[in-house]
Amino acid sequence: MKDLLTPLVVLLSVCSPVAARQAPKLVVLLTVDELRTDLYEAMAPHLLENGLTRLSRDGRVYDTVIHPLTEADPVASEAVLQTGALGLESGITGRCTIVRKEGGQRHLEGSVLEDKKYIGYGTADRLSPLALAAPTIADRLAQATHGLGQVFSIAPSAEEAIIAGGHEAQAAYWLDDSTARWVSSTFYPTGLPWYIGKSSTVATRLDKGSITWQASSPALYASLLPYACSGAFSSDHIYTRAFSSVQDLKHSPVVNEYVVRLAESVIDGAGLGADESMDLLALHMTAGTPPSVSAGISPELLDSYVLLDRAVAQLMELLDRKFGKGEVLVALSGNGMARCEPIRDDKKRYPTFSPERCRAITNMYLHAKYGVKGMVTEVTDRGELFLDRKVVEQREELSLAEVQDAVCSFLLEMAGVAYTIPNHSLRDLLPGDPVGCTRLTALHSALPSQRADVFVGISPGYLIDTGTATPQPSYTAMPTMLILMGEGIEPEVIHTPLDLRGVSHEISRVLRIRPPTP
């Protein structure tokens, strides 16, 4: 027996140090808002060698990452990416909390992560991750290291920063809408140390004047957009101290370089990767355009990939300078969504669907059928129809399911309506039940008590007539990509489609930790 055990002990003693060296000292989770595979491939020949090109060349590329929903806002998509779970399981269905008031009216009430128990560091925001009902990649890594691994998260917006950091983060930092400075929450133990204040370069630039975004390569964009008159911006985008301007800046690709600057300050100030415990740094950048730029392919959208590539190149240079080869795992992923490109606003050429007219006609039908006025309180530009449930409950002869079914049957006769889904048909579905993308999107659009009563599918060729109301930003699913680069990961391109929920599983497998959700 002794003769058998001796070689085994020698083998383990030799292999253990090797295995330990393979574990990275730092994991960088880089989420890119609105990153599209098709646009990346179009821009790839014109990008830097040490940015996105280097990641694609030296890493494992999943070039077809698909969002399981047909639409979801960036915050809900961030939660899917970090937890591997959809809205009902993660508790995050959008940026704002949706509340149904008495009378059935729908209201948006602040951030979905609002928490009055915690005040902000340098901000009036009172936020925490306690509304996040599922663990994240960061949480699992912190648990795997028994709390010895540090977790920090940086994003232009609060919700993305907090969700990526999970419950175990030492700190999450975001840009305040009013001051344009990096801020945080008292939920986190690290607080707002001196090196964060020193890195408020956005505010410093704005204090000195303004930040201007100009086209980097107008000639290139003109060649890639043959139907456009010019590759230049219609006008330069100038960002100032104004509240709306800061909000616009936070959603522009200009902010990417400032995320990298703060990342360097956090790595140095917090000592990330300085010991044997695996640390995690979650970063959030954008490859999209701000609300002030029309959705769709434009010189601004192409330029966002150039600015993203520069920021990634700066990040890679930073990691090379701070850490040696094999010490860092970089995981870059898009969020699988992009802003919808609207139909040209020409009511003479396109049929229109009016949510207000839909509400009025449906109320007339329900009044004639049940003798009750004003049962429909709102129809949104996304086709969500809300009933006054209190009125229905007061009529003993009526049931909510019956009224929902009646509305569905009636609306199917209306021009521009492709399909209808009653809410009661969603309530008995379990998370693992096989359902189509459309029904799955409706199921996870809001928490059960706040969900619409009827989901109306509007035909894609119809123009939405919102009247005087400001239309809400709309996002649609768009194939994106996942890149994993680090020691022991062989360069390859995987064309097999990967569900966005599976991104956290792929990262967890490489790190050899438990995935956030089954």
CA distance 266 to 193: 10
Q: Backbone phi, then psi, for 477, in 5-degree steps?
A: -65, 140
What is the rounded average pLDDT of the residues 301-319? Answer: 97
At which residue do the structure tokens 């600015």 appear? 307
Structural domains of the chain sorted by starting position, each given as residue range(s) with its CATH number in brackets: 23-202+250-342+475-511 (3.40.720.10), 352-464 (3.30.1360.150)
Mean pLDDT of the chain: 89
Provide the residue count of the chain: 518
Given a cut of 70, whether residue 461 has pLDDT beyond it is yes
Question: What is the reported pLDDT for 98?
Answer: 79
Question: What is the reported pLDDT for 173?
Answer: 98
What is the rounded average pLDDT of the residues 377-405? Answer: 92
Question: What is the reported pLDDT for 443?
Answer: 87
Given a cut of 50, whether residue 181 has pLDDT beyond it is yes
CA distance 121 to 262: 16
Using DSSP, state whether 131 is helix, strand or coil: helix
Bridge-based pairing of strands 475-477 and 26-33 is unpaired
Given a cut of 80, whether residue 374 has pLDDT beyond it is yes
Q: Lowest mean pLDDT: which of 94-98, 312-316, 500-504?
A: 94-98
Given a cut of 70, whether residue 344 has pLDDT beyond it is no
Query: Where do runs of H (alpha helix) occur along 103-190?
Result: 137-144, 158-165
Structure tokens at 92: 């995050």
Question: What is the reported pLDDT for 30?
Answer: 98
Q: CB under 8 Å, gap of 24 or more: what pairs does 423-427 form?
A: 423/451, 423/452, 423/453, 423/454, 423/455, 424/400, 426/451
Task: Assess contact for 116 and 401: CB atoms under 8 A.
Answer: no
Q: Lowest mean pLDDT: which of 97-101, 220-224, 266-270, 415-419?
A: 97-101
Structure tokens at 213: 């975004």
Residue-wise pLDDT tens digits, 145-165: 999 999 999 999 999 999 999
Residue-wise pLDDT tens digits, 474-508: 899 999 999 999 999 999 999 999 999 999 999 99
Query: Is the full-model pTM beyond 0.85?
Result: yes
Residue-wise pLDDT tens digits, 6-63: 444 444 444 443 344 468 999 999 999 999 999 999 999 999 999 999 999 999 999 9
